[in-house]
């Protein structure tokens, strides 16, 4: 750092006009104090400027952080349950058509979601719900399960359908535990929850997502293509529709070919209900076009508005996660304790589908932030 010469030095050097007699030079201690004050102000200004810049570039309270995953990650439509400290995590996912009717597949992690083991189907083929065979032809496996805990019991909602049809149903089974290793484990079928029928209903009864509101009442969100995303009131303790319940549409992409929206999931955060949906098409490897969009409402039944104020019932939806690099078609999402789980297609592995889990970030305005980072395990 350079300093300006005083008046007497300027005269001596022939570079300035004579001035008044200079006052006595300040003491070394006063010079140090003045220098410290100047530096402190400069640092404060720089930090303020840097903070303003960071606030523009990184306007979140907490940044998203992807987990480094290992093990068997082949997963479609993961329903994530993050365990208590020291307890296992579980993912239930779309079933394997090679196993009877393809019960939802169970995956377990004993190290806080880092390493995953494929345990097997939620139930064996001999225990498949017979009502599905009797009402829906051609079902090969159950899709997009949802897991909800209530009063010490677990509720497993699942989808029964075939590609390209809205003759579909959402079924329910209950168990005292998610852990197949627990002696009390076992799913009891409770029958269909809601159905749709080609030529009779405008919606498609698949892709269940259940949220419990502030009053303790459960709500079922469902839908795929056709009439978009619906909400339906349920009731405890049976987990079935409330008396006189009828679905109401809360999100659509009307005007988009095939109305490509599905996989609703609703989570509460800081007094808001966030509706996460998947736009586009899944299940096509590297040609998949899935992406995750979101809107929010202070009422569990909507309207759900995006960050620009557009109603999701009118095609709104703020982008959360989309294809980037080798991460193709992320979607089929669920949330548990602040963690977002979804599947994607790995462009570096021939389009193989795999699991992704991350801690969501949140902006100061209360919007979720996600990352397509895939950390090395």
Please identify which of the residues 77, 128, 291, 306 carries the catalytic annotation.
Answer: 77
Pair 156, 187: CB distance under 8 Å: yes
Task: State whether residue 111 is helix, strand or coil.
Answer: coil
Burial class (CB in 10 A: 0-12, 13-18, 19+), 239: buried
6 is in an annotated binding site: no
What DSSP line would sit under 230-255, residue for residue?
EEEEEETTTTEEPTT---EEEE--TT
Asked about 262 being catalytic, the answer comes back as yes
| Residue 215 marked in a binding site | no
136 in a known ligand binding site:
no
The single residue of 128, 146, 262, 346 carrying the catalytic annotation is 262
| Cα of 186 vs its chain's centroid, Å | 28
CA dist 208 to 40, 224, 319, Å?
A: 58, 10, 21
Active site residue 77: yes
Answer yes or no: are the C-beta atoms of 250 and 243 closer than 8 Å.
Answer: no
CB 187 within 8 A of CB 153: no
The sign of the CA dihedral 247, 251, 255, 260 is negative
Q: Return the closest-CA partner of residue 210 out of 170, 254, 251, 259.
A: 170
Q: Per the annotation, does 284 bind a ligand?
A: no
For residue 251, which of 195, 292, 288 has the smallest C-alpha distance?
292
Do the annotations mark residue 8 as ligand-binding?
Answer: no
Is 328 known to sit in a ligand binding site? Answer: no
Between the alpha carbon of residue 73 and those of residues 201, 268, 339, 355, the distances in Å are 36, 27, 16, 5
First to last CA, the chain: 48
Is 166 annotated as contributing to ligand binding? Answer: no
204 marked as part of a ligand binding site = yes
Dihedral of the alpha carbons of 112, 152, 73, 128, in degrees to the nearest 10: 160
Q: Is 239 annotated as a binding residue?
A: no
> What are the DSSP E strand ranges found in 161-223?
168-175, 188-196, 209-212, 218-222
Nearest to 295 by CA among 271, 280, 322, 274: 274
Binding residue positions for substrate:
77, 164, 204-207, 224-226
Residues with catalytic function: 77, 262
């Amino acid at each position: 750092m350079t300093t300006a010469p005083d008046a007497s030095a300027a005269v001596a050097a022939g570079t300035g006009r004579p001035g008044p007699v200079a006052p006595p030079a300040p003491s070394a201690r006063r010079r140090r104090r003045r220098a410290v004050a100047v530096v402190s102000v400069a640092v404060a200004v720089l930090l303020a400027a840097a903070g303003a810049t960071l606030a523009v570039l990184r306007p979140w309270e907490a940044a998203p952080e992807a987990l480094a995953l290992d093990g068997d990650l082949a997963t479609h439509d993961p329903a994530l349950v993050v365990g208590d400290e020291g307890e296992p995590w579980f993912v239930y996912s779309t079933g394997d058509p090679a196993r009877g009717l393809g019960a939802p597949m169970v995956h377990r992690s004993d190290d806080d979601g880092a390493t995953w083991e494929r345990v097997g189907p939620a139930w064996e083929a001999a225990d498949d719900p017979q009502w599905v065979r009797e009402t829906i032809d051609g079902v090969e496996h159950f899709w997009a399960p949802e897991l909800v805990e209530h009063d010490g019991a677990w509720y497993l909602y699942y989808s029964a359908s075939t590609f390209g049809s809205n003759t579909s149903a959402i079924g329910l089974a209950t168990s005292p535990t998610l852990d197949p290793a627990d002696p009390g484990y076992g799913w009891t079928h409770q029958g269909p929850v809601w159905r749709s029928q080609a030529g009779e209903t405008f919606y498609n009864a698949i892709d269940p997502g259940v949220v419990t509101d502030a009053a303790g009442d459960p709500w079922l969100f469902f839908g795929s293509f056709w009439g978009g995303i619906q909400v339906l009131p349920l009731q405890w303790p049976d987990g079935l529709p409330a008396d006189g319940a009828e679905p109401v549409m809360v999100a659509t992409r009307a005007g988009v070919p095939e109305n490509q929206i599905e996989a609703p999931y609703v989570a509460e955060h800081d007094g808001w209900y966030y509706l996460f949906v998947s736009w586009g098409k899944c299940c096509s490897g590297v040609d998949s076009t899935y992406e995750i969009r979101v809107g929010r409402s202070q009422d569990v039944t909507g309207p759900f508005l995006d960050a620009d104020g557009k109603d999701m019932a009118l095609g709104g939806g703020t982008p959360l996660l989309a294809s980037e690099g080798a991460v193709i078609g992320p979607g089929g999402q669920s949330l548990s304790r602040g963690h977002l789980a979804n599947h994607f297609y790995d462009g570096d592995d021939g389009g193989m589908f795999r699991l992704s889990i991350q801690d969501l970030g949140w902006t100061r305005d209360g919007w979720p932030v996600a990352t397509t980072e895939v950390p090395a395990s």
